[in-house]
Amino acid sequence: MVKNIGIIGYGSMGKMLLDKFIESKTIQESNIFISNRTFEKIINLNKTYSKLNICKNNIDVVKNAKILFICVKPLEIKNVLTEIVEYLGSNVHIISLNGSVLFNQIEKICINHKISKIIPSIIAEVNQSVTLVCHNANVNIKDKEAINNLLKCFGTIMEIPEPEMGMGSELTSCMPGFIGAIFKVITEEAVKHTSISKEKIIDMVIATMYGTGKLLLEKEMTYDTLINRVATKRGITEEGTKIIENKLPEIIEEMFIKTLEKRRITTEKANNEFNI
């Protein structure tokens, strides 16, 4: 039996959930109920999805949903949960899309409920996301299978412990942004040393980046094998890889220190919000 899906919040993640579920035919439009703090942002969604259930408030979503995706900012989650908790059926499965808000925080309001957290990536738009999931003790095997069946349209699903969701998010959800920043710098530096147009450089870099990822996956190649295949002894590529291996670790270490600290502060603020 198809379960009704609820989505609270129509930001980047809420929109991606809605679009992927419908476009992949994972869920029919008529089985999805959606709300957003700013109703005007979703009022015209029926022009695209004529059978979608657009709700004027979160309570109408909750009354109809068996699986509830909460796609709001960390400091907004408590208010949403407080508003909807008395309307939650005992068997409703709550799914948070924010790794910084912990199970013990949500459980303080939603006592004895099935609660999961998922962290998808923007590359779910091309079915290549490594979507991270973790579950509280009330989620059983059948519940997990139901969630996995929903999320498989995004790409790969990987279950990890809740304490590792922070670093896991850096390696999956945040990584496209990190990669984009790195290759933006490479492109801008390359422009300084060639007459090749920036547009052509971007095309070269993106195509090579795509092909490299495909090579690593399809040939089950390690990083070291790849480097050794390209960077021959005393060759040109070896000179470049030496610079990267010597100087980049310091930058990457600083990046993780900063991002994980930002995540810790966000969780601490949520703790304060939930009075934990």
The pTM (predicted TM-score) of the whole model is 0.89
pLDDT of residue 167: 94
Tell me the sheet residues that pair with 186.
Answer: none
Q: What pLDDT score was predicted for residue 115?
A: 97
Contact call for residues 13 and 38 (beta carbons, < 8 A): no
How many other C-beta atoms can be found within 10 angstroms of the C-beta atom of residue 47? 7
pLDDT for res 221: 95
pLDDT for the residue numbered 232:
87
Domains of the chain, each with CATH number or no CATH: 5-160 (3.40.50.720), 175-270 (1.10.3730)
E strands, 71-113, are: 93-96
With a cut of 50, list the residues of the chain below it in pLDDT: none
- Residue among 58, 50, 1, 57 at smallest CA distance from 30: 50
Return d(Cα 32, Cα 53) in angstroms, integer.
Answer: 6
Q: What is the pLDDT of residue 270?
A: 82
Residues 6+ apart with CB under 8 A from 105: 77, 78, 270, 271, 274, 276
